[in-house]
Amino acid sequence: MSESTTTDEIESWLRELATDLTEPRPGECLLCFVARSLDEFGCDNQLRFACRFRDLRAPRAVGLERRLGQRGGFCDCEIFLNGWSVHSRLWSPEREVEREGYAEIIEAEPPEELPPCTGVRLGSTQPCGNWERRRRGW
């Protein structure tokens, strides 16, 4: 096998990997894509992944940044800090356990790993059923 053939194969493999990591999957919603991207690459204090999703899957969603900002999502991580959270039906339930003769409450917790995206139609920036809006106020 020649060196140029090996190089071409490696470059092809890297392009496929980069596509898998940085592009929305078929039917994947905005929030599942942004959450997956944040897990891989972290936040840069911009709406980098949200805008990438819009540019690739929903270019007509010209008000996306404004809409996310209205919910407190001025960067990718703030979408989840202020705007949306994993749907409560996916959380482990609050439970009471007994330890050393005392009752201890274990609070409900979000899942360690998100379930697969339940999907949205092409062109939508709405979240799938894995997400719910955070309630505002105390």
What is the domain range of residue 86? 3-116
Q: What is the pLDDT of residues 89-105, one digit of tens each?
A: 999 888 888 888 898 88
Q: What is the pLDDT of residues 26-71, one digit of tens each?
A: 999 999 999 999 999 999 999 999 999 999 999 999 999 999 999 9
The token duo for 44 is 């840069």
For residue 127, being part of any structural domain is answered with no
Residue 137 belongs to some domain of the structure: no
Nearest to 65 by CA among 87, 90, 34: 34
Which residue, among 102, 100, 104, 122, has the nearest Cα to 30 in the 3D structure?
122
In a domain, 131, yes or no: no
Residue 39 lies inside a defined structural domain of this protein: yes
Are the CB atoms for 88 and 134 separated by under 8 Å? no
Helix (H) or strand (E) holding 59: none
Q: What is the count of structural domains for the chain?
A: 1
35 is a domain residue = yes
Q: Please answer whether residues 47 and 67 qualify as being in contact, where contact means their C-beta atoms are separated by less than 8 angstroms.
A: no
